[in-house]
Amino acid sequence: MPDGVVVERHLLDNGSAVAVLPYDPVRRVCMLIDQPRAGVLDAGEPPLLEAIAGNLDGTSPEARIVEEAFEEGGLRISDLEPVTNMWSLCPASTERVQLYLAQYAHEDRIAAGGGAHDEDENITVHEIGLDALRDMALCGELSDAKTLILAQALLLKHPQLWADRR
């Protein structure tokens, strides 16, 4: 501690990660996923809607999220818009998550998604209307932190997606 006192803390060191909120400005949808999460299941809660994400495993954030978008969402993305490099749980973890927004078009959905076959992810892909995403963010229905941050970033950085629509 700053005063020299030594205290015990437990840290989880699981590397760093990356996440993306893909959105289609023409069809006015975004892509989210859900998958079984032990903590959520243990709490008896329904699956979380989440942004596409994955651990870096020694790969650059940009390369890794392009792979994850294809594996989890069947989606081809290329132009990444950085949002932030956030601490996911700073009191207990060394993990940082690089967050991105990425535009896509209908023709960029080139596979079914669902996750890598050897990773037992059991992912379900959802295309959500942008108005529904905004409403979920404003009403507190997005309970996954990275996804909420990305939805808020989309609202703030691209207000033209909602202009004259309320």
Q: Does the pLDDT at position 31 exceed 60?
A: yes
pLDDT at 127: 97
pLDDT at 164: 63
Distance CA 7, CA 75 (A): 46
Contact by Cβ (8 Å): 65, 20: yes
H or E element in which residue 21 lies? strand 17-24
Q: Does the pLDDT at position 165 exceed 60?
A: no
Q: What is the mean pLDDT of the chain?
A: 92
Q: Alpha helix (H) ranges present in 8-163?
A: 38-42, 61-73, 130-139, 145-157
Q: Where are the domains of the chain?
A: 17-160
pTM recorded for the entire structure:
0.92
Other CB atoms closer than 10 Å to residue 50's CB: what's the count? 23
Q: Does the pLDDT at position 117 exceed 90?
A: no
Cite the annotated binding site for Mg(2+) by residue number: 53, 68, 72, 121
The phi, psi pair for 121, rounded to 5°, reads -85, -30
Cite the annotated binding site by residue number: 53, 68, 72, 121
Q: Report, at the CATH architecture level, how domain 17-160 is classified.
A: Alpha-Beta Complex (3.90)
* pLDDT tens sequence across 72-112: 999 999 999 999 999 888 778 878 999 999 999 999 999 99
pLDDT-above-90 percentage for the chain: 69
- Mean pLDDT score, 45-74: 95
